[in-house]
């Protein structure tokens, strides 16, 4: 109790700094507008309050995308139960809006008692599902106090995080005492939660929801259309979710690739939208012929770099390409890579740098299967790109191996829904 109140005082003091960063205007970042009040628990009532909704918290863009197959499957299974999705960020809200046909969006209140209690009074959820491991002490306390069961879905707990929690066991205990169930991606995650004190009966292994990725016909169709515009027969590779300090290395590899394949195209996708303009300037400075996704250009087949300065189109961009390099992996240990499941689901040969600890399991599975290549530096990235473009049979073999890994790991959505089924109250309407 004392620990949680000390935390609340500290959060109250630092929240202005957090909110300043959250609300700061950045290029290509959606604005919160008048909805900023929702962060303080001033939440509009749901349009559909026919019965108590399921509350799903997905934080931001990545978690919302990953949770989408689960949310759609849950709605299909229980069509009468309303769903409300909360995100903290405006980019997450933009992604959640794509599910407006089956769910309503609200901003997640700050982890302050008055804000959390205000949200609960207005929304009156029957269950809370938290995507991955976004745990906040006051949220968990007041939700549990309202007799609302809390389940963490698609839970991950790295060895590094587990070691930190062990040093501050009382902090983890604040979380654990309020959780009904934890549905883990892998056995290692489950083992770490149990070692930290979670009741083994409440910890289950469901696999990663991200493996239950479906590639829609529209994605394939849009990808083919874009490929026609970019050039059907030229070598095209995607550098996805790149970070500052990585774009330079990617552009160096592309310049070297152009020596072997003068018509090669790089689709460059910066991770953060506020960097779109900076990366565009970098490409110009480096002397590349560049076209932006938001520009209507007639000479796309002459472009050497295609800058994806939009959000939510990753699958289409991947579907138009031959090879994917996943960013966040060539700049030391500070990022730890990004998820390779989307390119793998499209059958693309994958390349990553040496730092991929955030997605070690999927990366290792794809690497062991021969569908992913780990490059320790920029020079090896160039070498691997040339090798893949020279060998079409190798690319086809990578495709078959990647799709096989995806197929072996599907089913997490169905298993997760089965585990939360006993916690739901289903009313006929």
Query: Looking at residue 60, what is its pLDDT?
Result: 85
CATH classification of the domain holding 130: 3.40.50.11720
pLDDT of 3 > 90? The answer is no
Query: Residue 267 and residue 72: Cα distance in Å, rounded?
Result: 30
- Residue 429: pLDDT band by 50, 70, 90 thresholds? low
Are 404 and 417 in the same domain? Answer: no
Buried-state track 88-111, b at ≥16 Cβ within 10 A, e below 16: bbbbbbbbbeebeeebbbbbbbbb
The CA distances from residue 37 to 16, 94, 315, 321, in Å, are 14, 17, 33, 42
| Known active-site residue 63 | yes
Q: Which of 248, 221, 254 is nearest to 235 (CA)?
A: 254
Q: Is residue 7 part of a domain?
A: no
Q: What is the pLDDT of residue 51?
A: 92
**Assign residue 259 a region: left if phi > 0, alpha if psi is -120 to 50, beta otherwise?**
alpha
What CATH number has the domain bearing residue 262? Answer: 3.40.50.2000
pLDDT-derived band at 135, boundaries 50, 70, 90: confident
70 and 206 inside one domain: yes
Whether 348 has a pLDDT exceeding 80, the answer reads: yes
Domain assignment of residue 72, given as a range: 20-212+411-423
Report pLDDT digits (tens) over 215-241: 889 999 999 999 999 999 999 999 999
In a domain, 381, yes or no: yes
4 in a domain, yes or no?
no
If you average pLDDT over every residue of the chain, what do you get? 92
Most confident of 13-27, 48-62, 132-146, 254-268: 254-268
Q: Which stretch of DSSP H or E encloses residue 8?
A: helix 2-23
Q: How many domains does the chain have?
A: 2
How far out from the chain centre does Cα 418 lie? 23
List, for residues 391-412, the tens digit of each pLDDT value.
999 999 999 999 999 998 889 9
Residue among 38, 63, 132, 246 flagged as catalytic = 63
């Amino acid at each position: 109790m004392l620990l949680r109140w000390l935390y609340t005082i500290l959060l109250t003091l630092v929240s202005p700094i957090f909110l300043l960063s959250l609300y700061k205007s950045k290029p290509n970042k959606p604005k919160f507008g008048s909805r900023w009040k929702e962060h303080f628990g001033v939440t509009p009532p749901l349009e559909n309050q026919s019965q108590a909704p399921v509350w799903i918290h997905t934080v931001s863009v990545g978690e919302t995308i990953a949770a989408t197959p689960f949310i759609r499957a849950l709605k299909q299974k229980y069509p009468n139960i309303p769903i409300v999705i909360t995100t903290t960020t405006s980019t997450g809200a933009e992604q959640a809006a794509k599910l407006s046909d089956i769910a309503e969006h609200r901003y997640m209140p700050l982890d302050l008692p008055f804000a959390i209690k205000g949200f609960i009074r207005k929304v009156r959820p029957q269950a809370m599902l938290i995507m991955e491991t976004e745990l906040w002490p006051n949220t968990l306390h007041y939700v549990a106090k309202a007799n609302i069961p809390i389940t963490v879905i698609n839970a991950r707990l790295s060895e590094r995080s587990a070691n930190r929690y062990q040093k501050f066991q009382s902090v983890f205990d604040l979380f654990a005492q309020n959780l009904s169930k934890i549905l883990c991606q892998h056995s290692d995650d489950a083992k770490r939660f149990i070692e930290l004190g979670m009741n083994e009966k409440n910890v289950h292994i469901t696999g990663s929801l991200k493996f239950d990725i479906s590639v829609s016909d529209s994605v394939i169709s849009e990808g083919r259309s874009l490929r026609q515009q970019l050039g059907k027969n030229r070598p095209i590779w995607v550098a996805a979710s790149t970070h500052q300090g990585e774009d330079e290395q990617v552009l160096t590899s592309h310049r070297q690739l152009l020596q072997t394949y003068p018509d090669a195209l790089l689709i460059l996708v910066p991770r953060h939208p506020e960097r779109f303009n900076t990366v565009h300037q970098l490409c110009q400075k480096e002397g590349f012929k560049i076209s932006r996704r938001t520009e209507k250009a007639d000479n796309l087949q002459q472009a050497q770099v295609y800058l994806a300065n939009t959000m939510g189109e990753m699958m289409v961009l991947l579907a138009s390409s031959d090879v994917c390099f996943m960013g966040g992996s060539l700049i030391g240990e500070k990022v730890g890579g990004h998820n390779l499941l989307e390119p793998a689901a499209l059958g693309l040969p994958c390349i990553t740098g040496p730092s991929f600890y955030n997605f070690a399991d999927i990366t290792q599975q794809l690497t062991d299967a021969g569908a992913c290549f780990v490059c320790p530096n920029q020079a090896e990235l160039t070498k691997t790109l040339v090798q893949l473009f020279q060998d079409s049979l190798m690319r086809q073999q990578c495709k078959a191996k990647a799709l096989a890994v995806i197929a072996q790991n599907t089913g997490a959505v169905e298993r997760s829904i089965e585990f939360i089924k006993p916690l739901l109250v289903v009313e006929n309407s």
